[in-house]
Each structure stands twice: as structure tokens, then as C-alpha cells.
Amino acid sequence: MTYLTRAVFAFASLLLLLAAMALIGFGVKDALAGIGSPDKSGADAVLDVLGYVIVAIAVFDVAKYIFEDEVRRGNE
């Protein structure tokens, strides 16, 4: 049962890491689109990407915590 639990937590950590990378990708894509758009100012585009990056860092930190606490815990 412990292997199954650790596998589920490892999978959840991987999904969260992928979501964090996707958030950064969306942020960069939106920033590039916003900078090239005459309707939107560059400052708004930078603030948008900053919000994406901050949320991505928080998601990455949660994924790291889950992996270290739940998956690697069995090795110690």
C-alpha cells in the first residue's frame, strides 16, 4: 500500500510541475502577444507575466513539498 500511495503522490507532484511549467509558458506567450498589441500597454503585459510566474513558483513549491515529504519520506 505504501508503494501505491508514494506512486500517487509522485504522479500528483509531476502533474503540478507540468502545470507550473505551463503557467510560465502561457505567461510568456501572453506577454509577447501583449507587447506586440497596440491595445495593451507593455506594463500590463509585464504585470500579467509576473502574476503567472508568482503562481507558478507557488505551485512548484507545493509540488516539491509533496515530493520531498511524501515520496522521498519512505527512503529515510
Q: For the packed helices 2-36 and 42-66, what is the interaxial angle rounded to 10 degrees? A: 170
**Domain ranges, ordered by start, for the chain:** 2-75
pLDDT on residue 30: 83
pLDDT value at residue 76 = 58
- The rounded distance, in Å, linking the Cα atoms of 2 and 12 is 15
Residue 62: its pLDDT value, please? Answer: 94
For residues 20 and 60, is the Cβ–Cβ distance under 8 A?
yes
Q: In the prediction, which pLDDT does 36 show?
A: 74
Question: For residue range 2-56, what is the model confidence (pLDDT) as tens digits?
Answer: 888 889 999 999 999 999 999 999 888 888 887 777 776 777 777 888 899 999 9
d(CA 24, CA 29): 9
Distances in whole angstroms, Cα of residue 73 to Cα of each of 4, 15, 62, 68: 14, 19, 16, 7
